[in-house]
Amino acid sequence: MTLQIVLLGCLLPSVCEALLSDKKNGTWNLIGKIKAQATFRTIDTPDNNPIPIEAGDLINQRTLLLIEFRHDLGQILAQPEIDYYLQLRAFYDSVWDIGPDVFSDDDTRRQYLFDNRDQINDLKWDVDLFLAFIDITYGPLFTRSGRQIISWGEMSTKRILDGTNPLDTTASLAVDLLERMVPLAMVRTTLTFDNVGPFSSVGVDGYYVPGSIENKNGEELIDGSAVYPPIGRNTVEELQNPFSLSSLMQIVDQVPDDIDSDRYGVKLNMMLGFLELNLAYYRAYSDVPVPFLDIDAFQPIYLTWPHIGRILGTLITDPSNFWNAFLGDQKLRVVLTYDTVDVYGGSFNYYVAPIDTVLRGEMALYKDVPKIKPGSIADLVTELGGKVYLPGGNLTLGDLLSGVDLGGLADMTLPFSSGTIATFDVLKYGIGIDKNIVTPLNRKKEFMLIFEYVGSKIFAYEENSIIYPWQGPNGETLYEPEYTHDFIFIARTDYFKGQLVPQFTTFYEVVPRALVLIPAVTVFKGPWQFECTYMHTFSKSYEQEGFLASRNELTIGFAYNF
């Protein structure tokens, strides 16, 4: 998924005093961070983006406040060691109030999108107990219960085996991977043994997420967000065509799925010298929802001759209101369908001492992943026509149109499925290399170099049947490829004793040949941290990471630790 591209965050922390702490015994402390980022688009958006964003426009501005409290209770009556951790999070996305008119002015937005000010007001800010867990350690047994994040993968950019926690796709792409993960309420247990046969240590890690109390699958995205624009080309002219995709999307009511299945997983960890091996299985929810037309929710329509007259009159005089005249108060109910996915995989991490290099790799097989099989106008007529009765009640619209040639209109792709949801097995794999090098040309300064390759394959692939929900610049449908090959290179160093940290990231996608260049610099000064990141893209088309051609942007921000 495109928005899983992330930047590797700088790992050098700022030094600061705790806001409050137990200075005598050091058993508890209260710390905090305030962070603000602003992202500006540096080029005009292409024609396929329904939101007309211009170069220089503010497209994202998030202010984040974190308050963290950790308390080590120690041993109680010589029993297990206990500590707990709480993190309060508050954020506000001000672009919806102070940004360009396409974000902040409702009258302007209505020219291109739905009226979703209620959704904006609900999602642009939040205050919640983001993380909250208690740790209990008793010999080789460790248990953590509560809202938490776990990481089982080895890749630092795109996730493969690490799919337990969903990702937050609502923030700027300049936000690093750890800040994107959404915590889940779970019970996690780790049992570790030293010196087992040839292994220096063997551990078993397991977790359980009860679906009845925790069914979160990522963060809901505001319609029309510049982070992940909507489908279609909702121009004013296109909305006048009642049979355009934009007009059809105006009569769609998208409903989140109510999946509540339990999630769980188990991982076996083995250490053999400098080699760490992991074997894992877990059950998760699918990442990308499949929009599915709920035929059963559509109420039958009994047309009368006056009703037909009004419909034909509207089609001639006010075509933009054709569907309202036809459907009345009813909309097409499209369920954003998720399902459980079983994941089998493993990873390794090996330190090659003679060359001071770390090799990393992982692989995961995702079983029965739901994918979008594109619908069409012909499907819509077939599915819904049987519920629209013509005058007299003996003949349906489906009967009337069953022998009618709809021409090119019948083949127009719709961004939702009907019938049976297609599932596919997906194999993901990756390898990474971490190496510190010293360059004589830069006063013998040490550079951290990271190289990663990440690929995937869809088994039983059906050409032109797996759709990626996006349209090209000419309205063409774009499809997910059978194979993906992504190459990532990151170089990072520091100056002035770690206070200045420049970083350069290069991302190259083979299909459809998308190149992303991301220079960044971070300045640390006591409790302050200042960041500047620029994303520049070159691409052949708008598929997958290629749609980042519309995402040339500059992000500036700061953080203050207290």
For the chain, list the domains and their CATH numbers: 2-374+415-561 (2.40.160.10)
More confident of the two residues 200 and 413:
200
What's the burial of 299, exposed, middle or buried (CB within 10 Å: 0-12/13-18/19+)? exposed
Q: Are 108 and 154 in contact (CB under 8 A)?
A: no
> Within 10 A of 226 (CB to CB), how many other CB atoms are there?
25
Of these ranges, 159-173, 248-262, 483-497, the one predicted with the greatest mean pLDDT is: 483-497
pLDDT at 470: 62
pLDDT over 70 (residue 166): yes
Rounded Cα–Cα distance for residues 329 and 12 (Å): 56
Confidence category of residue 114, pLDDT binned at 50, 70, 90 = low
Nearest 10 degrees: Cα torsion 186, 192, 196, 198: 80
pLDDT at 374: 78
- Give the H/E segment covering residue 237: helix 236-239
pLDDT at 542: 58
Q: Are 431 and 350 in contact (CB under 8 A)?
A: no
Q: Are 524 and 494 in contact (CB under 8 A)?
A: no
pLDDT over 90 (residue 466): no
Alpha helices in 133-208 (DSSP H): 177-180
**β-pairing verdict for 28-41 and 199-209:** unpaired
What would the two tokens of residue 554 be? 């500059």
What's the pTM value of the predicted model, to 2 decimals?
0.87
DSSP 251: T
3-state DSSP percent of the chain in helix, strand and coil, to 5: 15, 45, 35
DSSP 550: G
Which pLDDT tens digit goes with each residue over 79-110?
A: 789 999 999 999 999 999 999 998 999 888 87
- Give the H/E segment covering residue 274: none
More confident of the two residues 175 and 372:
372
What would the two tokens of residue 65 be? 């406040």
Rounded Cα–Cα distance for residues 364 and 343 (Å): 6
Kindly report the average pLDDT of the chain as a whole number. Answer: 85
Rounded Cα–Cα distance for residues 557 and 298 (Å): 48
Rounded Cα–Cα distance for residues 352 and 55 (Å): 47
pLDDT at 229: 58
Q: Are 163 and 214 in contact (CB under 8 A)?
A: no
Of these ranges, 145-149, 323-327, 333-337, the one predicted with the greatest mean pLDDT is: 145-149
Give mean pLDDT, residues 201-227. 86
The rounded percent of the chain whose pLDDT value lies above 70 is 86
pLDDT at 1: 37
Q: Are 432 and 452 in contact (CB under 8 A)?
A: yes
Ramachandran class of 544: left when φ > 0, alpha when ψ lies in -120 to 50, beta otherwise: left
Give mean pLDDT, residues 504-527. 91
pLDDT over 60 (residue 4): no
Rounded Cα–Cα distance for residues 308 and 396 (Å): 14
Give bridge partners of residue 63 from the DSSP assignment.
36, 92
- Give the H/E segment covering residue 246: helix 245-250
Which pLDDT tens digit goes with each residue over 409-449?
A: 667 777 787 777 889 999 999 999 999 888 766 666 788 99
Give mean pLDDT, residues 151-175. 79
pLDDT over 60 (residue 545): no
Which pLDDT tens digit goes with each residue over 285-327?
A: 998 888 888 888 899 999 999 989 998 999 889 888 888 888 8
pLDDT at 544: 57
